[in-house]
Structure 1
Amino acid sequence: MIYTVTFNPSLDYVVQIENLTLGEVNRTSCEAIYPGGKGNNVSVVLANLGMKSRALGFIAGFTGDALEKMLTDFGCTTDFIRLKEGMTRINVKINASEESEINGQGPEITAEAIRELFEKLEQIQEGDILVLAGSIPNTLPEDIYERIMERLAERKIHIVVDATKDLLLNVLKYHPFLIKPNNHELEELFGVTLKQEKDIIVYARKLQEMGAVNVLISMAGDGALLLTEDGKVYRKMPPKGNVVNSVGAGDSMVAGFLTGYLNTNNYEKALQLGIAAGSASAFLSWLAGKDEIVKLLQQPPEEYGL
């Protein structure tokens, strides 16, 4: 089973505006509401690819009800903890000449709710996959990822971490199965500027030396690099297309990678499916379905277990 954890999920209100002018009334040309949060995005794309997962996290208020219903409608299994106060946040995603976001704060997560989450994590068994993705709301302890991974360290669970800065660096000692920084986040982690592929590989290897088992570096239009546990480096370029919305593309890459890995036990095919999924979502207004992803694969979908 794959489990995803989203500590601060959201309803994403996505609007298209031809020209955003501050200080004036702006009218949308189209709009939609989607379930949001990095872990939830991973669960949706997994469901689209025929993979089962269980979405964990915290919800509150009528917006939490709407979020859970949307995820269920998209084929996801949810096991959220309901908070007594506040409401699940609403994030506004503005697609204009440039992408802009206004993200809500979200409800306060109590110590009791954290204990309940740890009880749910006890369900995870050897061989399962746990995806920890996204930022930590300020009502949670900063070391929550570390506490989770320390608690599960002896379970032989494949843990995927998609986070930034110290949130990522501090968990490397627990040997996550996969981490997925992009090239800019890699620069930020080490305080360097990386202009050549060989330099990106050098610093990705440093993350392996610090404990990561596999390192997936997404590079937008330049594709992705995968450094695997057996010392190999795979590089794949993305398919051509027009980027419509980059929100969720990285989460889609994680879902595609996991699907490819679980179905084929082949890292190179996992990378290819990950890039196809990430690109397909980037070319759409929201997360890609199976048909859109399959269209971008370089080999028949049967080779990826689809």
Structure 2
Amino acid sequence: MIYTITLNPAIDRTMWVERIRDDEPNRIVREENYAGGKSIDVSKVLKNLGVESTALGFIGGFAGMELEGRLLNEGIGTDFIRVSGETRTNIIIHEISTGRQLSFYAKGPDIRPHELVMLIEQIEGLRDPEIVTIGGSLPPGLSPAVYRRIVTEAKKCEHNGCKAKVFLDVDGLSLRSSIEAAPDVIKPNIYELSELVGRELREIDEVLAAAREINRKGVEVVLVSMGPRGIVLVSAHEEYHAIPPQVKVENTVGAGDSSVAGFIYGMVNGKSLAECLIYAVAAGTATTLTEGTALANMEDFERLIPQITLRTLKTS
């Protein structure tokens, strides 16, 4: 089983307007609501690619019920911890005339100590986890040390006698703290990796050197996303750079999460690291073709796979 953990999920309320005007009424042309959050997006893309998962995390109030109901309606399994606060609602506005996108993210509900303990106990008791992916921002009341503890507990879980693989996609202090627990795979973007190693990274050689530093701290695979420049993969014995084709980008929300799902799709199908990386870039690119905060679908994913350029940087 694949488990995805999102501590601060959200309803993404997405609206389209023709043009945003100051000090005038702005008429909404179209409106959609989506269940959102980094690892929730991973579950949604995995479902689109034919892979089952169970979404974990905190939900509360009517917004939390709506979020869970939307996931259930999409055929995604859930086992959330219910909290006393209200799940947040984010606002995303698309200006049709310019293609501009404005995003307003709420902070989320305060998580109480007993609610956190319930989640940790749930992770300790996960049944047959093959992969556990953890991603997203922290809700109020939780410190970055929480992610380190979640990684530690998830790595103790077993699938068919083997330890679960832990995939982490967080940033800032949460990422820095969690490296100590040695997640198996991390996916910072180039700016997040720059912050982690304490220097600005621009060129591929600089990215490779920084990722190798993280490998030496016990992280098996480092994926560094660089937008249209693709994704670099660095492990102890293999290094690759996968580059997407040029496409008309409709949306960037969820592209990084989709890349995580594409990589996991390869992992569960027994593919090599190089193939997993190609799938990651294909899934992330597929999401950029969708409107609003919709995510990658199988048709676009499969069509893009042969269009990904793979450069082998090192094998040994």
Q: TM-score, normalised by structure 1?
A: 0.91
**CA distance in 1 between partners of 2:111 and 2:266 (Å):** 34
Deviates most, 147-156 or 126-135 = 147-156
Is the 1:17–1:27 Cα contact (8 Å) retained in structure 2?
yes
Query: As a proportion of its length, which structure holds more strand?
Result: 2
The answer to whether residue 248 in structure 2 is matched with residue 242 in structure 1 is yes
Q: Does structure 1 residue 16 correspond to structure 2 residue 16?
A: yes
Q: State the distance in 1 between where 2:190 and 2:22 align.
A: 31
Inter-partner Cα distance in structure 1 for 2:148 and 2:199: 25
Q: Is 1:206 the counterpart of 2:205 in the alignment?
A: no
Task: Show the counterpart of 2:60.
Answer: 60
Match of 1:303 in 2: none
Q: Please tell me whether the aligned partners of residues 2 and 129 of structure 2 are also in contact (alpha carbons under 8 angstroms).
A: no
Structure 1 CA distance for aligned equivalents of residues 171 and 241 of structure 2: 22
Q: Retained in 1: the 8 A contact 2:244–2:282?
A: yes
- Name the structure 1 match of 2:148: 146
Indicate if the aligned counterparts of 1:264 and 1:270 stay in contact, CA closer than 8 A: no
Aligned AA (1:77): G
The 1-side partners of 2:29 and 2:226 are apart by: 30
CA distance in 2 between counterparts of 1:51 and 1:24 reads: 46
Q: Which secondary structure does the structure 2 equivalent of 1:264 belong to?
A: coil
For 1:1-306, what aligned pairs fall within 5 Å after superposition?
1-83=1-83, 85-96=84-95, 97=98, 98-124=100-126, 128-155=130-157, 156-228=163-235, 230-285=236-291, 286-298=294-306
SS in 2 for 1:86: coil
Count, aligned residues: 297
RMSD: 1.7
* Identity among equivalent pairs (%): 37
Letter in 2 for 1:34: Y
Question: Offset of 1:59 from its aligned partner?
Answer: 1.0
CA distance in 2, matches of 1:57, 1:177: 20
Cα distance between partner residues in 2 of 1:226 and 1:23: 48
What's the offset of the Cα at 1:105? 2.3
* CA apart distance, 1:232: 1.1
Deviates more, 1:244-253 or 1:286-295: 286-295
1:280 touches 1:293 (CA, 8 Å); kept in 2? yes
The alignment partner of 2:183 has SS state of: coil
The runs of 5 or more residues in structure 1 that have no matched partner are: 300-306
Separation of aligned partners in 2, 1:257 and 1:206: 22
- In the superposition, relative to structure 1, how do residues 125 and 214 fare at CA in structure 2: closer, same or farther (>3 Å)? farther
Query: Deviation per CA, 1:54-104, whole angstroms, max 9, x where unpaired?
Result: 100111111111111111111210001112x33211100122343221112
C-alpha distance in structure 2 between counterparts of 1:54 and 1:266, whole Å: 24
Contact persistence 1:105–1:137 (CA under 8 A): yes
Letter in 2 for 1:101: S
1:19 and 1:206, CA in 2 relative to 1: closer, same or farther beyond 3 A? farther
TM-fit CA distance, 1:125: 5.3
Paired with 1:22 and 1:218, the residues of 2 have a C-alpha distance of: 35
Question: For the residues of structure 1 that align with 2:62 and 2:202, how far apart are their CA atoms?
Answer: 46
Alignment check: 8 A CA contact 2:108 2:140 kept: no
| Structure 2: runs of 5 or more not aligned | 158-162, 308-316
Distance across 2 between alignment mates of 1:127 and 1:265: 19
User: What's the CA shift for 1:116?
Assistant: 1.4
Distance 1:127 1:58, change over 3 A: closer
The answer on whether the counterparts of 2:148 and 2:180 sit within 8 Å (CA) in structure 1 is: no
For the residue of structure 2 that corresponds to 1:106, the secondary structure is coil
Aligned equivalents of 2:119, 2:183: Cα separation in 1: 20
Tell me, in whole angstroms, the C-alpha distance in 1 between the residues paired with 2:22 and 2:3: 41
Contact kept, 8 Å, 2:155 with 2:165, in 1: the verdict is no
Alignment partners' CA distance in 2, 1:109 and 1:100? 27
Change (3 A) 1:193 1:19: farther
Q: How does the TM-score come out when normalised to structure 2?
A: 0.89
Q: Assess if the C-alpha contact under 8 Å between 2:85 and 2:111 holds in 1.
A: no
Measured after TM superposition, the shift of residue 295 of structure 1 is 1.7
